[in-house]
């Protein structure tokens, strides 16, 4: 939209659209008003200072007249030209932590509960220590790059935190706290990480099966949950939160997996595991006394892998092993991707590495787990 001479009457008549809209003043260069889709209006200044773009909120149009906003904007722009600091506590110049909390409250509804909890930990541990106390509108690309470099010792945490920071900046822009097209997180080059994929060998399957049998009489639910993980390639969260209503016609119908609704086809051994459990609750594994539904399985897994001499084996590695065996047995990438609930074929491809001989040996090694009898 072309610049116009802003007046109180014109500001009052500006109507919101589906996207954020900036209207600049034709008389005072660098001064304008932003109209949010919600109908809120904020006066702002936008100029250059020491080679950097400066964007600051002057005030809320609901509590400040256009004449007052113009006077304040003129003073702020003059301060920039004279290389003087602009007062730090301007109305509407929100601090990073304030905007971040608003993002987690409003935008965070799109995240699943566990994703929200994980993202909040990264916010608290990796992001806020660096950006807290900074006006969100002043954070630039150079500052974001310094933050990312400061996390070089924890590359995985840095890579996971960067998209969270980007969402905060994106929403800050959409809600009027930052200028348009001002996301300083664009094009951050992530740290390269060595993949630590771990796959079960035939002998390791045997040892794991033997360890499971030792606990079956005393801890049937935990043993059954681990057997289902081994026999289905499901994610841990899909098994520990499984409800009986999702099990019918010999399949699992997961309404809300990581990649959306999906069907898990069960082999006979997996069906036998489920059919052998009592239906005393709506949950297949009604193990009480834990604040989060996956802790009980994590604790059991740590004990079990130690007994089997597999201390370096992660629970998620059972999923990797399932995928590799299926691919090496001749199943297509598309089929295995559907078995695992992948929404990207590239995710499935990384498991295609085992030889046919290894697969045959692995199938034999799985016999104790399928039948519950030691080989």
Q: Give DSSP secondary structure letters for 164-176.
A: HHHHHHHHHHHTT
User: What pLDDT sits at residue 85?
Assistant: 58
Q: How far apart are CA 260 and CA 351, in angstroms?
A: 22
226 with 288, same domain: the answer is: yes
User: What pLDDT sits at residue 367?
Assistant: 53
> Which of helix, strand or coil describes residue 322?
helix
139 with 239, same domain: the answer is: no
Pairing of strands 31-35, 21-24: antiparallel
297 with 359, same domain: the answer is: yes
Domain count, the chain: 3
DSSP lists the bridge partners of residue 56 as 45
In a domain, 182, yes or no: no
User: What pLDDT sits at residue 88?
Assistant: 39
76 with 100, same domain: the answer is: no
216 with 259, same domain: the answer is: yes
In a domain, 293, yes or no: yes
Closest Cα to residue 257, out of 248, 267, 246? Answer: 246
User: What pLDDT sits at residue 168?
Assistant: 94
In a domain, 179, yes or no: no
232 with 327, same domain: the answer is: yes
User: What pLDDT sits at residue 230?
Assistant: 82
> Which of helix, strand or coil describes residue 247?
strand
User: What pLDDT sits at residue 10?
Assistant: 94
Q: How far apart are CA 48 and CA 27, in angstroms?
A: 17
Q: How far apart are CA 283 and CA 300, in angstroms?
A: 19
Closest Cα to residue 44, out of 172, 179, 173? Answer: 179
Contact by Cβ (8 Å): 126, 119: no
User: What pLDDT sits at residue 29?
Assistant: 92
| DSSP 8-state assignment for residue 222 | H
User: What pLDDT sits at residue 223?
Assistant: 93
375 residues of the chain, pLDDT tens digit each: 568 999 999 999 999 988 888 899 999 999 999 988 888 898 999 887 776 677 788 888 888 899 999 998 998 888 888 776 554 334 346 789 988 998 999 888 888 887 898 999 999 999 999 999 888 888 888 999 999 999 998 998 999 999 999 999 988 887 767 776 678 998 888 888 665 567 777 788 888 889 999 999 999 999 999 988 888 878 888 888 899 999 998 888 887 666 567 788 787 888 999 999 999 889 999 875 555 556 788 889 899 989 989 888 888 777 766 665 654 554 444 544 454 544 554 454 455 554 444 444 555 555 555 555 554
Residue 188 CB contacts under 8 Å (≥ 6 apart), including other chains:
144, 145, 148, 162, 166
Q: How far apart are CA 263 and CA 241, in angstroms?
A: 15
Closest Cα to residue 234, out of 208, 207, 253? Answer: 253
User: What pLDDT sits at residue 289?
Assistant: 52
166 with 299, same domain: the answer is: no
280 with 222, same domain: the answer is: yes
End-to-end Cα distance, the chain? 77
333 with 234, same domain: the answer is: yes
251 with 352, same domain: the answer is: yes
Q: How far apart are CA 357 and CA 265, in angstroms?
A: 25
314 with 165, same domain: the answer is: no
What residue numbers bound the domain in which 129 lies?
Answer: 96-174
Closest Cα to residue 56, out of 80, 35, 21? Answer: 80
Q: How far apart are CA 199 and CA 207, in angstroms?
A: 14
In a domain, 1, yes or no: no
C-alpha 213, offset from chain centre? 36
User: What pLDDT sits at residue 357?
Assistant: 45
Q: Give backbone dihedrals phi and psi of 192, rounded to 5 degrees, phi first.
A: -80, 135
User: What pLDDT sits at residue 375?
Assistant: 44
309 with 161, same domain: the answer is: no
User: Between the CA atoms of 226, 232, 237 and 243, what dihedral angle is there, to the nearest 10 degrees?
Assistant: -90
């Amino acid at each position: 939209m072309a610049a116009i001479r802003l007046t109180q009457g014109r500001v009052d008549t500006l109507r919101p659209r589906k996207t954020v809209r900036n209207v600049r003043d034709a008389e005072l260069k660098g001064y304008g008003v932003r109209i949010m889709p919600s109908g809120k209006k904020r006066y702002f200044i936008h100029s250059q200072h020491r080679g950097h773009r400066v964007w600051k909120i002057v005030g809320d149009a609901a509590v400040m007249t256009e004449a007052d906003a113009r006077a304040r904007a003129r003073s702020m722009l003059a301060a920039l030209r004279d290389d003087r600091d602009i007062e730090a506590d301007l109305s509407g110049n929100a601090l990073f932590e304030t905007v971040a909390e608003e993002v987690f409250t409003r935008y965070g509804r799109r995240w699943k509960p566990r994703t929200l909890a994980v993202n909040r930990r990264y916010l608290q541990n990796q992001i806020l220590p660096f950006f807290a106390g900074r006006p969100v509108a002043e954070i630039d690309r150079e500052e974001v790059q310094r933050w990312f470099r400061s996390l070089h010792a924890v590359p995985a945490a840095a890579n996971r935190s960067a998209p969270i920071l980007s969402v905060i900046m994106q929403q800050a822009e959409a809600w009027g706290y930052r200028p348009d097209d001002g996301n300083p997180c664009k094009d951050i080059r992530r740290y390269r990480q060595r993949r630590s994929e771990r796959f079960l060998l035939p002998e390791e399957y045997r040892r794991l099966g033997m360890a499971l049998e030792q606990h079956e009489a005393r801890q049937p639910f935990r043993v059954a949950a681990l057997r289902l993980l081994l026999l289905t390639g499901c994610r841990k969260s899909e098994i520990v939160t499984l409800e009986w209503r999702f099990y019918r016609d010999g399949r699992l119908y997961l309404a809300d997996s990581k990649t959306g609704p999906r069907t898990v086809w069960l082999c006979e051994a997996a069906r036998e595991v489920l059919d052998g459990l009592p239906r005393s609750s709506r949950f297949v594994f009604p193990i009480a006394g834990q604040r989060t539904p996956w802790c009980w399985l994590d604790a059991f897994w740590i004990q079990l892998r130690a007994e089997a001499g597999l201390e370096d084996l992660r629970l998620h590695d059972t999923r990797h092993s399932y995928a590799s065996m299926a691919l090496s047995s001749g199943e297509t990438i598309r089929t295995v991707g559907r078995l695992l609930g992948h929404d990207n074929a590239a995710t499935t491809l990384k498991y295609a590495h085992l030889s046919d001989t290894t697969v045959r040996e692995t199938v034999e090694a799985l016999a104790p787990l399928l039948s519950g009898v030691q080989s």
